[in-house]
Structure 1
Amino acid sequence: MSPIKLFKNNFRDFFKKLFKKKKNARIGIYGPPNAGKTTLANRILRDWTGDAMGPVSHIEHETRSARRREGVTIKTNGHSIGLDVIDTPGLATKIDFHNFMDYEMEEDEAKRRAKEATEGVIEAVKWLDDLDGIILVMDATQDPFTQVNVTVVGNMEARKLPLLIVSNKVDMPEASPNTIMNAFPQHPMVSISALEGNNIDTLYQEIAKTFG
C-alpha cells in the first residue's frame, strides 16, 4: 500500500472513531415491590429531563409493565453518560390476588392486577437479556437476604454485567444500609432517599463510574 493511500485510510478511520456516536447504556432498575424503583426513576428523569417515568403507589405492583425512557444524559464531575432507563415491575416469587383485596379492591379487579403483575415479572426477567447493567434498589428498612435480591445479584454476576446497589429509604429511622453493604460487599452501593433526594449527587457519580 502506498504511503498516500495508507495516510488516507488512517485519516478516514480516525474521523470515524472521532464522530462515532456512542450508544446509550441500557440500564434496568430492578428490585422487589415497593423498594422505590419508580420513585428513583422519577427522580432521575426529573433531574435530567424535567419529565417523570410514571405514578407511584403504596400498593404493591403499581408498575406492572416495563417503562423505558431513552437518551437520559447524566452529567457529573465534568463527565456525561447517556442512559436508556428501564423501570421494571417489582420482582416477586409469588403474587396472590388476595393481597390486592386487602386494599378494598373487588375480587375481579384484584385478580386482574395479580395477572398483570405476574406478566410484568416475566417481562422484567426477559429484559435481562437486553441490558448493559442494572441498578438494584433495596429497601434499607428490610432484610436484604431475600430470594429476589440474591437471584438478581447472582444473575448479573453470571452475565458479568455491572451492578450498582441502591440502598433506598435511608430517611426512615429504622433504615440500616450497612446491613445491605455487608450482605453484598462485592458490589458498589450508594445509600439514598429517592423520595427526599438525600445523597442523590453521589448516586449520579457512581452511575457514571459504574456504567460509563
Structure 2
Amino acid sequence: MGLITNLRSSISRAASTLFADAEPKRIGIYGPPNAGKTTLANRIVRDWTEHGDAVGPESHIPHETRRARRKENVEIERDGKTVTIDVVDTPGVTTKVDYTEFLEHDMEEDDAVRRSREATEGVAEAMHWLREDVDGVIYVLDATQDPFTQVNTMLIGIIESQDLPVLILANKIDLEDASVQRIRNAFPQHETIPLSALEGDNMDEVYDKIAEYFG
C-alpha cells in the first residue's frame, strides 16, 4: 500500500507542476471606442483579484485607452473549475481618428492633436496584438449603437481568419435604447451575451461564458 500511495502522490505532484507551469491565455478585449472595454476589464479584475486594482481609467472621452494594458494571472472560478487568463484591454479600433473629436471635450488644440496621434498609434498596437499576441477575444459592443460598421465587420473577420475563439458582449443594457437583438442579427454566427459592465448586470453569465470559451 505504501508503494501505491507514494506513486499516487508523485503523479499528483507532477500533474500540479504541469498545470502550474501552463501559460495563462491572453484574452484581448476589443471593440470600437467607448464601447465599455476598460469598464469591463476593470470589473473583471476587481471581481477576481485580491487587490482589484483598475486596469485603466474609465472615461466618456473617446480613445481614453491609447496603449494596450495587461493584467496577468486573473483566476476566474466557475463550478469548481479555475480558468486563468491575462486580461488585455486594448485601444478602441476605428478607421479614422480626428483631433476635432477631442476639441468637443474642451481640450486645447495642441492637446487634441497629441491625443489623436496617440490614439492612432494605439489602433496600430491593438491590431498588432490581435494578429500576434492574443489567444482569444472578448468583443465588446455598445448595445445602443448600430453594430453594422466597417470596423466591426473587419475585426470580426480578422478574428475568424485567425481562428480565435470570440465571445461577443452587448454592453450598456442598462440604457433605455439598448438593443441586444440588433447585435445578434449583425453577427448571428457568434453567441452574443448581454451585460452592463458599469452596473454589473448579468456578469455571472459573462463569467460562465469566459470559462467555457477560454478555459
Q: TM-score, normalised by structure 2?
A: 0.90
Partner of 1:9: none
1:148 to 141, 148, 151: 151
In the aligned structure 1, how far is the partner of 2:15 from the partner of 2:150?
44
Letter in 2 for 1:48: W
- Residue 6 of structure 1: aligned partner: none
Deviation >3 Å, runs of 4+: 12-18
Provide the secondary structure at the position in 1 that maps to 2:116: helix
Structure 1 Cα separation of the partners of residues 82 and 12 of structure 2: 22
Matches within 5 A, 1:120-131: 120-128=122-130, 129-131=132-134
Match of 2:4?
none
What's the counterpart of residue 19 of structure 1? 17
How much has 1:105 moved relative to structure 2? 1.0
Describe the superposition over 1:138-194 as per-residue Cα deviations: whole angstroms up to 9, x where unpaired.
000011111111111101110111000010000101000011112111112210000
Of 171, 185, 191, 2:194 maps to 191
In structure 2, the partner of 1:161 is 164
Counterpart Cα distance in 2 of 1:188 and 1:46: 25
Structure 2: 5+ residue stretches without partners: 1-9
| TM-score normalised according to structure 1 size | 0.91
Give the aligned residue type for 1:84.
D
Between the aligned partners of 1:96 and 1:107, the Cα distance in structure 2 is 12
Give the aligned partner of residue 36 of structure 2.
36
CA RMSD of the aligned region, Å? Answer: 1.6
Distance 1:14 1:169 in 2: 45
State how far apart, in whole Å, the 2-side matches of 1:13 and 1:145 are: 52
1:33-182 correspondence runs (5 A): 33-49=33-49, 50-128=52-130, 129-182=132-185
Q: Once the two structures are superposed, what CA deviation does each residue of 1:91-117 show, in whole Å capped at 9, x if it has no partner?
A: 010001111111111111000000000
Q: Quote the residue 1:3 is aligned against.
A: none
> What CA distance in whole angstroms lies between the structure 2 residues aligned with 1:18 and 1:115?
47
Aligned length: 202
**Which residue of structure 2 aligns with residue 5 of structure 1?**
none
SS of the aligned residue for 2:29 comes to: strand
Amino acid at match of 1:133: G
Q: Distance in 1 between matches of 2:190 and 2:127?
A: 21
Per-residue CA deviation, residues 47-101 of structure 1 (Å, 9 max, x unaligned), is 0112211111111001110000100000112111000000000101000111111
Distance (whole Å) between structure 1 residues aligned to residue 77 and residue 151 of structure 2: 31
Q: Deviation digits for residues 6-63 of structure 1, max 9, x if unmatched?
A: xxxxxx9996555313211100000000000000001001101122111111110011
| CA distance, structure 2, for counterparts of residue 203 and residue 166 of structure 1 | 8
1:122 is paired with a residue whose SS is helix
Secondary structure, in 3 states, of the residue corresponding to 2:210? Answer: helix
